[in-house]
Amino acid sequence: MQQKTVVLMGEKKVKGRKRHIVTDTAGHLLHIKVHEANTHDTVGGCPVFQKALEKYPTLKGVCADAGYRKTMEEFVEKVLKKTIEISERIAEKWTILPKRWVVERTFSWLNGYRRLAKDFEISISSAENYVMIAHSMLLLKRLVKL
């Protein structure tokens, strides 16, 4: 029998999850994929960018952090024939990594919604849909302010 490690979040008995998102340069959500937390970033990132590229074929490339090195680089360059830019850590002192702050800011905006602060959803599709609803609410608030 194969054993599987389960990470529980609080008292909700929901297995740990990771969110992979693709945004444009303004931080608007293009695609999201939620999956188990025990999946490595390089494995989880490949299908996310591939799906985003199917929806938006005009995408020219991807910027990613160091967690997406190797497998993701090879996949994007060889299979998808797109460019990939991996941001490197700066050793001297703490600084904001170029272009990465856009995605981090989007995660911050999304975590402002109580429903997304913790993972209450049992199904992965529900978790993905609640992220899309939260992002739609963000865009609607911005339109109303105009």
Range of the domain at 39: 17-89+96-145
Q: How many domains does the chain have?
A: 1
Rounded (5°) CA angle 35-99-128: 25
Q: Is residue 83 part of a domain?
A: yes
Q: Is residue 36 part of a domain?
A: yes
Q: Is residue 61 part of a domain?
A: yes
List the CATH number of the domain containing 117: 3.30.420.10
Q: Is residue 5 part of a domain?
A: no
Rounded to whole angstroms, the Cα distance separating 36 from 18 reads 6
Give this prediction's pTM: 0.76
Q: Is residue 35 part of a domain?
A: yes
Under the banding of pLDDT at 50, 70 and 90, the label for residue 3 is very low
**pLDDT tens-place string over residues 56-92:** 888 888 888 777 888 888 888 888 888 888 877 666 7
